[in-house]
Amino acid sequence: MQDPPAVTVVNEAGTSPIVLLCEHASNYIPPRFANLGLPPAELERHIAYDIGAAAVARQLAGRLDAVLVLAGYSRLLIDCNRPLGVPGSIPVRSEATDIPGNRDLSPADRAERDLLFFAPFRTRVGVLLDARQAAGRASVLIGMHSFTPIFLGVARPWQAGVLYRRAHRLAAVLLDGLAEDPALIVGVNEPYRVTEAGDYTVPHVGEPRGLPTALFEVRQDLIADEPGAADWAGRLAAVLARVAADPRAVEGLASAT
């Protein structure tokens, strides 16, 4: 079996200002890494990838006519949504699970992981955004993620979350749209918070370029099968269509905060 590409771009010519990123799309680990010493069942868990996120993101790209960039390898090899060098970049422990194949890596090992799996993703995103800027096209970055219903034994009350820092107008439109369903409990910067070391897309890609940027988090049990992914793709597409139609949400951060 041939290894997949490190990065895949879907619908690059899409007309929407929405740019979708799925940094944790895949749980694939090449055979030479021997599953990083983990039993195969561990690679079906959230520690290896964001369950359902790629399925929702692909449907969103089609519904919105938006471009989508997907990472091709498990975040256990190297996390495409963490800065290089932080503990979460190549984790030796994820949740309560030790990752034997990530222990005692040499600088050369780490550089190889970056070269093979992370650099192609971040380079392709950069080229895409540069081309859009050169063409005078607006870009609103949306990262698509999922989260576990229970984390380290603690139940999470949310069905979804919106994570952001400076893009207040964008976040307001996203949250207002989701709030129209009174049955939903939506976290504001929950179940995670955007930090310099804990996130890459918002603080190190979108914000330095002055782009409105936010992450969607959807509880993974809600999108783990095809009907669930389709339902949430429809829900999020309606919300993102509002973003695309709102000039203040699409404008750069200088005027969108």
Task: Answer whether residue 71 shows pLDDT above 90.
Answer: yes
Q: Mean pLDDT, to the nearest integer, of 85-107?
A: 97
Q: Each residue of 176-189: pLDDT tens digit?
A: 999 999 999 999 99
Contact of 156 with 148, CB cutoff 8 Å = yes
Q: Each residue of 211-244: pLDDT tens digit?
A: 999 999 999 999 999 999 999 999 999 999 999 9
The pLDDT score that the predictor gives to residue 233 is 98
The pLDDT score that the predictor gives to residue 255 is 43
Q: Mean pLDDT, to the nearest integer, of 97-107?
A: 98
Q: Each residue of 132-176: pLDDT tens digit?
A: 999 999 999 999 999 999 998 899 999 999 999 999 999 999 999
62-86: burial string, b at 16+ Cβ within 10 Å, e else: ebbebbbbbbbbbbbbbbbbbebee
Q: Each residue of 3-20: pLDDT tens digit?
A: 999 999 999 999 999 999
> CA 92 to CA 98: how far, in whole Å?
6
Task: Answer whether residue 249 shows pLDDT above 70.
Answer: yes
Which residue matches tokens 């680990």? 29
Can you give the pTM of this predicted structure? 0.96
The pLDDT score that the predictor gives to residue 184 is 97
The pLDDT score that the predictor gives to residue 227 is 98
**Residues pairing with 98 in the sheet:** 93
Q: Is 124 left (phi over 0), alpha (psi -120 to 50) or beta?
A: alpha
The pLDDT score that the predictor gives to residue 257 is 41
Task: Answer whether residue 101 shows pLDDT above 70.
Answer: yes
Q: What share of the chain in percent tops pLDDT 70?
A: 98
From residue 240, give the alpha-carbon distance in Å to each of 135, 153, 228. 22, 33, 18
> Higher-confidence residue: 124 or 152?
124
The pLDDT score that the predictor gives to residue 254 is 55
Give the chain's domains with CATH numbers: 7-256 (3.40.630.40)
Tell me which H or E stretch contains 177: helix 168-179
> CA 25 to CA 50: how far, in whole Å?
6
